[in-house]
Amino acid sequence: MQRLHESLIQQGLTSELQQLILTLAECGVEISRLVRGGALAGVLGVAETENVQGETQKKLDIIANDLIKQKLAANPLVKGIASEEETEVVAANGNGQYLVCFDPLDGSSNIDINSLVGTIFSVLPAPEGEVNEQAFMQPGTRQNCACYMLYGPATVMAMTTGQGTRMYSLDPDSDEFILVEERVEVPAETGEFAINMSNQRFWQAPMQRYIADLVQGKEGPRGRNFNMRWIAAMVGDVHRVLSRGGLFTYPQDTKNPTKPFKLRLMYEANPMSFLVEQAGGKASTGYERIMEIQPDQIHQRVAVILGSKDEVDTCLRYHSEG
């Protein structure tokens, strides 16, 4: 049995990166406790506020955000933070060497139905000089670490520092993350996909054709049946992909003409792409590798197609055909 801190030592990470990851894990332990408390912890329901994305915030969005902000600010290694729930990036410790982007609570709409939610982190190296939005504008290939915590029947953490993807499970007795899978591998082929089908009429032509062929099953050009799963929390859907393969997508749509994409590059798409690629999967917008996008805004959104490599490649072929 290997505890998180032992596994970080074994990976040969710098003591700075080890310490930072332990702080991220602590955030996960505390949010996990709050989530488990549910109505009794007074964390359910909506707040009166709206975030920069135009979403009504849930109480837990704000509680998790404040908790992470405090923990990160107290770690001298953190120079700046960016969060889904913060309009601007926030400066932390001048001498810190890391920038941390996070989605404090992913899957907010699941909170009140007692379904899956999680937290997503992306760690970037901090450049010299001031902490401003520009400092964060680094492609996902520069990430030092990506991880998510999923507050499911068990609380788990998937983590990568670029040496494969590891899975940990939270021991509820000791409040410690224990390594449960040293090398997560996403199978190249899959018979499972995840997409919000209610947006079908708003997708672009390539996604329309790809999904239409999948749902035709055995009788269609794919010659086999596919199964559909949708958790409505990216952490849940990506966790399924890491656990048994699959294709997860949130494609471009025209439902809201001012918002063609749903998922945010810096604290959703990039960290999840890193975790999936490090487990042998693939992550693309349909036209380019997500982690190679040069960002220009902290809250920018992208199309996401990720998961089992061969199935992502098949989906990309529909895109290259226009």
Binding positions for Mn ion, rule: CB under 5 A:
55, 84, 103, 105-106, 108
Least Å from the CB of residue 112 to ligand AHG: 12
Tokens of 113: 């139905």
Contact between 160 and ligand AHG by CB under 6 A: the answer reads no
Is residue 262 a contact point for ligand AHG (CB under 6 A)?
A: yes
- Contact status: 108 vs ligand AHG (CB under 6 A): yes
233 binds ligand AHG (CB under 6 A): yes
Among 144, 161, 142, 158, which Cα is nearest to 106's?
158
| 30 exposure class (CB count in 10 Å sphere: 0-12, 13-18, 19+) | middle
Taking CB under 6 A as the binding criterion, the range among 9-17, 103-111, 124-132, 174-182 that sits at the site for ligand AHG is 103-111
* Contact between 196 and ligand AHG per CB under 6 A: yes
Rounded Cα gap, residues 320 and 310, in angstroms = 15
Q: Does the footprint of ligand AHG cover residue 314 (CB under 6 A)? A: no
Q: How far is the CB of 265 from Mn ion (least distance, A)?
A: 12
**Nearest position to Mn ion, beta carbon:** 106
Please state, in angstroms and rounded to a whole number, the distance separating the CA atoms of residues 32 and 41. Answer: 12
As measured in angstroms, the least distance from the Cβ of 304 to ligand AHG is: 9
Residue 103 within binding range of ligand AHG, rule CB under 6 A: yes
283 - beta bridge partners?
Answer: 306
Using the structure block, give the residue that is written with the tokens 């040069």.
294
Q: How many CB atoms lie within 10 A of CB 137?
A: 16
Q: Quote the radius of gyration of the chain (alpha carbons, Å).
A: 19
Q: How many residues can be counted in the chain?
A: 322
- Asked if 232 touches ligand AHG (CB under 6 A), the answer is yes
Phi and psi dihedrals of 90, rounded to 5? -120, 130
Interacting partner of 14 out of Mn ion, ligand AHG, none (Cβ under 5 to 8 A depending on kind): none
Closest CA to 11 of 174, 156, 166: 166
**Minimum separation from the CB atom of position 15 to Mn ion (A):** 31
150 binds, among Mn ion, ligand AHG, none (CB under 5 to 8 A by kind): none
The amino acid at residue 4 is L
Q: x/- contact string, 275-294, with ligand AHG (CB under 6 A)? A: --------------------
107 lies in the binding site for ligand AHG (CB under 6 A): yes
Can you count the helices (H) and strands (E) in the chain? 8, 17
User: Closer CB to ligand AHG, residue 44 or residue 232?
Assistant: 232
Q: What is the nearest approach in angstroms of Mn ion to the Cβ of residue 46?
A: 12
Residue from 173, 75, 133, 57 nearest 300 by CA: 133
- From the CB of 284, what's the least distance to ligand AHG, in Å? 17
Rounded to an integer, what distance in angstroms lies between the CA atom of residue 66 and that of residue 279?
A: 31
**Binding site for Mg(2+): residue ranges?**
84, 103, 105-106, 268
**Which residues contribute to the annotated binding site for substrate?**
106-109, 196, 262
Judged by CB under 6 A, how many residues of this single chain contact ligand AHG? 13
Element (H, E) at 15: helix 15-37
Region for residue 307 given its phi and psi (left: phi exceeds 0; alpha: psi -120 to 50; beta: otherwise) = left
Q: Which residue in 27, 82, 234, 241 binds ligand AHG (CB under 6 A)?
A: 234
By CB under 6 A, name the binding residues for ligand AHG. Answer: 55, 84, 103, 106-109, 196, 232-234, 250, 262
